[in-house]
Amino acid sequence: GIQVEQSPPDLILQEGANSTLRCNFSDSVNNLQWFHQNPWGQLINLFYIPSGTKQNGRLSATTVATERYSLLYISSSQTTDSGVYFCAGPTDYGQNFVFGPGTRLSVLP
Amino acid sequence: NAGVTQTPKFQVLKTGQSMTLQCAQDMNHEYMSWYRQDPGMGLRLIHYSVGAGITDQGEVPNGYNVSRSTTEDFPLRLLSAAPSQTSVYFCASETGGTQYFGPGTRLLVL
């Protein structure tokens, strides 16, 4: 299966700031997802984005499959954006995912 | 729609005990999976199922069994708990390339 790397590992922002999280993968992918794990542990699917750009409110994501990376943009960050952001790519095990190590985001009031 | 539900939320076991983690979904998804998450790490796939009656191993299947007798339910069994199985366990269902996760079960093995 592919290897997934994420950067930065930790990020601290002041409320209202913008940020970019990066995900690199070792091989071409036909499926890539971004997840947010909130401080209570719940995992929420943010984007299914094998290629191109998608936007959902203050969040947007871009995947450049040919260059093997994906970016997650958070604009005007809020304290509720805190948590860990994972990107995940396809595994050799059916339609499941291999997860990157995550980026831990802390948004301060 | 309750989505994906898991029980219990938290469990303490002694080494050698067995138990079953329950997972259910009401979205009629064929595809279901079990992952474990260890501190500071992403999720790793334990077992998965592409439909009732069909299961397969993931990346870290040792020490775990699964069955899928209905579309809705996908229980995970720990045969003889070991401290290395202390983790948070997530069940997920999938459709259209998107996975939906349950709230997780936090397991402590002493």
Per-residue pLDDT tens digits for A42-63: 999 999 998 999 999 999 999 9
CA gap B14, A28 in Å, rounded: 44
pLDDT tier at B40, thresholds 50, 70, 90: confident
Longest dimension (CA), chain A: 42
Token digits of residue A37: 């794990």
Mean pLDDT, range B79-100, rounded to an integer: 93
Could you tell me which of A4, A6, A20 has the C-alpha nearest to residue A59? Answer: A20
Percent of chain A with pLDDT over 90: 77
- Decide: B14 and A70 in contact? Cβ < 8 Å: no
pLDDT of residue A96: 80
| B76: confidence class by pLDDT, cuts 50, 70, 90 | very high
Beta-carbon contacts of A67 under 8 Å, excluding residues fewer than 6 positions away, are none
Query: Closest-CA residue in chain B for A6?
Result: B42
Closest residue in B to A47 (Cα) is B98
Pairing of strands A10-14, A103-108: parallel
Distance from CA of A99 to the nearest CA of B (A): 5
Question: Which chain A residues contact residue B88 at CB under 8 A?
Answer: 41
Q: Which of A15, A43, A46, A44 is nearest to A32 (CA)?
A: A46
